A and B are shown apart, each in its own frame.
Chain A
């Protein structure tokens, strides 16, 4: 005789024998089992994260379906050797989802010389794919740079590089320190591909 369940119940019922075991059982033996996160209904258990070292495959079983990395953090804003980064803009933020990195930062700096303006990245950009299909992994991103012509620039991340450079929309060549106002600022929200 099965146990009757209240009509007010809003969650499913799982037999103890259908629960996957956390230890002591092979993966094959647990196929089709139900995974229960946490051991009771305390607050601490309901907020425990699911941790998988190998990642999780979504929508398929191929390598292209594997989400194996997610990370949030900050990264050091470093320019060329003639850029002095203002303390107010000591770090940028990043979120890495799989092989895609999203960053946003504000950087203020003074400068000398004519070096190409550059800002370092939290992860190196992916290298080009050699041979067929010969995919170029360069990433252009629009950024706001007050004081230059039009106040907008194309940030350019070349494959395998660990920094970004900047192009004006109308001129040719990279933006140099001498193209910037005395106390320069860059506002960026960018994305690019990484191989890490």
Chain B
């Protein structure tokens, strides 16, 4: 039987606040994996997390301490309509 599974197979904290998520789409015939493809997205502290995998939320909440959130807010403010 052919099955299709979605699997969050990589969660990375990059820099202070970027949480990179890789979701694998795994096609199996019985127990044998016959295809695996990847889909990615990046989360920052200002993004809605309501539809994220619970493990992703746990990693993000651990990474986004009040200090990190403050640094991210300052980073965004410094970037407003500017280059550099």
Contact = CB atoms under 8 A, between A and B. Distances in A.
Contacts of B20: 123-124, 196
Contact of B39 (A73, A163, A173): A73
A123 B81 contact: no
A183 interface: no
Task: Bin chain B's interface residue count.
Answer: 10 to 19
Interface in A145-162: 156, 158, 160-162
Interface residues of A, number: 29
Contacts of B44: 162
Complex A-B, nearest 5 residue pairs according to Cβ-Cβ distance, in ascending order: A73-B38, A124-B18, A162-B42, A122-B40, A76-B41
Contact of A71 (B15, B38, B41, B83): B38
Contacts of B53: none
Contacts of A163: 42
Contact of B41 (A122, A138, A158): A122
B10 to A, nearest CB: 10
B18 A162 contact: yes
Interface string A107-126: 00000000010001111100
Contact of B15 (A74, A75, A195): A195
A73 B22 contact: yes
A127 B14 CA distance: 10
Nearest to A128: B84
A173 B41 contact: no
A116 B81 contact: yes
Interface string B31-42: 000000111111
Given A122-B40, A160-B75, 15 more contacts: A71-B38, A73-B37, A73-B39, A75-B39, A78-B41, A94-B40, A116-B81, A120-B41, A120-B42, A124-B18, A127-B15, A136-B84, A138-B83, A158-B84, A195-B15
